[in-house]
Chain A
Amino acid sequence: MRLFWEAVKGLRVTARHLLRNLWKFSLYYVGLSKDKGVVTLEYPEERRETFPRVRLRHRLLRREDGRLRCVACFLCATACPARCIYIEAEEDPDHPLEKKPRQFVIDLGKCAYCGFCVEACPEDALRMDLHIPELAEYNRDDLLYDIEKLTKP
């Protein structure tokens, strides 16, 4: 019998949630209240605010003179636990910084978004502060982000 009452109590909890949300959401739906009552965010229209320190898509920064900050030191590629940063270095003949990346590719399909690459970078050339969480492609190769994609988000 005690069990029976416990069961009824359970029903009461769910019914309470149901009725309360039904009431609040109905009011909201017809425009009588601002409070939705439910936690759902209707994603493409509503977006959750991202925290300032959140790590999302990468970008490569440039110096004042327009040159990439990156000097192709490979430290990010070395630190990366997913080993998804591919770099090819080359001589930068006209710049005092001597070295620049000819190719710089991050495979976001493999990336774990750990941020180690950003931590490792001695030139502050790489950041993950774009706050763009969308990353869906039909093709895996489209997830290979090269310098162009990384500098013009």
Chain B
Amino acid sequence: MPGGKRVKIIVDGREVEVEQGTLLIKAAEEAGVYIPRLCYHEGLRPDGNCRMCLVEVEGLRKPVPACMTPVRDGMVVKTNTPALKEHRRKVLEFILTTHPMDCPICDQAGECVLQDYYFQYDLEDRRYFEDRERKPKKVHWGKNLIYDAERCILCRRCVRFLDHVTKTGELGVFERGIQSYIGLFDGKKIENNYSGNLVDLCPVGAITDLDFRFKMRVWFLDRTPSVCPLCARGCNIEIHTNTDPLTNRFSSQRVFRIKPRKNMDVNRWWICDEGRYSYKFIDQNRITRPLIKGKEASWDAVSRKLREIIGREVRVYLSAWMSNEELIYWKKLGELLQWKLSLLRRPDGDQDDLLRVADKNPNTTGARILGLEEGGGNEEVAVVFHFPSPGEHKMKIGIFTNAFEGMEDWDMVLPAATFAEKEGHWTNFQGRVQKFQQALEPLGESLEEGKIGEKFAEAFGIEFPWKREEMEKEFLKEMKKWSGR
């Protein structure tokens, strides 16, 4: 509600001014006070079932749940009194009476809210020694989700997500009391495009990801902020990698999972499953050495061979997967060498009204800003980025990240780094320029496209070094021109 009424409240002695109607738990966050929570998630409707977030409000006899209470002008709130702490201990103790303590085999361990609170509230020993309630474990919920009812703390975040965000409503709470569990409605499977978010939402390890299951302990992962390349929205993501030979000794996998990064203007808290599970191309089926006529060769051999195209007609098919910097670098290079330029894109696909857009390329907008258009010609030589090109050309030079069929017939195939192995910017469909950072070293002898461009420049005997920062500035100039049109 922009322009809504502002009210002042005091949380633990800190004064803060927020909009009227804000939930107390958020208002406190704005004041810099974190109120423990289990069931509240800012992307979901508050439910108030866990009672971790109870706070004391002056003038009220009983504590109130901060996640359900809107602020009132002049509220004085205390979040950390001994009574509240004792209360939270008890909430936790109740949960833990039935909790299986599977942490050694639970993928959530290390980023589990319950674990964190357990340590924070010092619940050393259990006092409840009755047999634990046995519930279904390892239930497949379809696609990549595995549900463990014993670990579930019944916060209903998953249910609310499916009800209110994806509006598919596959899940419900079944049974009552201590027997209750989350279950699929008859005949349903969770097959929507956002199911992966349930794993992130679940505060404990009740919903885990089949794809990530047992692959790596989360505390060994390095987290690099990046941007999802799989559609033009450019959801903000985190790439979780581990390249330490001591903790990741037996597998060649480097990227272990993709997690969403909160960005209220682009993807809010979510990402779609396509973005979440398509990371495998970063490690698998990669081209790691240059190929000349299907045979492995060195970059030196490539440089020698590139001299053959001097003076011939060249068309360069740039791709909408290249970063702004790379596009403008190649555009300038093409202008210097009088090449023809055109654009290749992944064909459009599905879209929905949550995140996914039809354009399945991360940087179509960037390419448009630079005036690149699809199309082709019949020039002698083609330099093709990322997608096997449609045109008829005598000599074909491809710059690809992953192996594909018919690769041997190409005159030259050069290995390119994936987005996780370089740094750059993409312009998403809203025209936001978003930065993705380097999470990994390029695999094998692959190079980022800018560096490959440098090789071309060298082979043609011109001085045009690849300087990413300069190209970034150049692009922003172009962008200004474009938006001011």
Contacts and interface: CB of A to CB of B under 8 A. Distances in A.
Interface of A: 71-75, 77-78, 83, 86, 88-91, 96-99, 102-103, 105, 122-123
A123 B249 contact: no
Contacts of B138: 98
B103 interface: yes
Interface string B183-221: 000000000000000000000000000000111010110
B268 interface: no
B219 A98 contact: no
Interface of B: 103-105, 109, 137-138, 213-215, 217, 219-220, 246-247, 249-251
A49 B104 CA distance: 36
Given A71-B104, A73-B103, A86 B137 contact: no
A71 B214 CA distance: 10
**Majority secondary structure, B binding face:** loop
A75 B104 contact: yes
A78 to B, nearest CB: 7
A74 B217 contact: yes
B272 to A, nearest CB: 26
A31 to B, nearest CB: 55
Contacts of B215: 89
**Majority secondary structure, A binding face:** mixed
Contact of B214 (A86, A90, A123): A90
Q: Which 5 A-B pairs have the closest CB atoms?
A: A73-B104, A88-B250, A99-B105, A86-B249, A89-B214
Given A71-B105, A97-B105, A103 B214 contact: no
A11 to B, nearest CB: 57
Nearest to A98: B105
A73 to B, nearest CB: 3
B217 A86 contact: no
B375 to A, nearest CB: 50
Given A78-B217, A99-B214, A88 B105 contact: no
B331 to A, nearest CB: 46
A75 B215 CA distance: 15
A96 B150 CA distance: 13
A99 to B, nearest CB: 4
A86 B104 contact: no
A128 to B, nearest CB: 19
Contact of B103 (A72, A103, A122): A122
Given A71-B104, A78-B219, A99-B105, A83 B137 contact: no
Nearest to A74: B217
B109 to A, nearest CB: 8
A80 B297 CA distance: 43
13 contacts: A71-B105, A73-B217, A77-B247, A89-B214, A89-B215, A90-B214, A91-B213, A97-B105, A98-B138, A99-B105, A105-B249, A122-B103, A123-B104
Contact of B246 (A72, A86, A89): A86
Given A77-B247, A98-B105, 19 more contacts: A71-B104, A71-B105, A72-B105, A73-B217, A74-B220, A78-B217, A78-B219, A86-B247, A86-B249, A88-B249, A90-B214, A91-B213, A96-B137, A98-B138, A99-B104, A99-B105, A99-B214, A102-B250, A123-B104
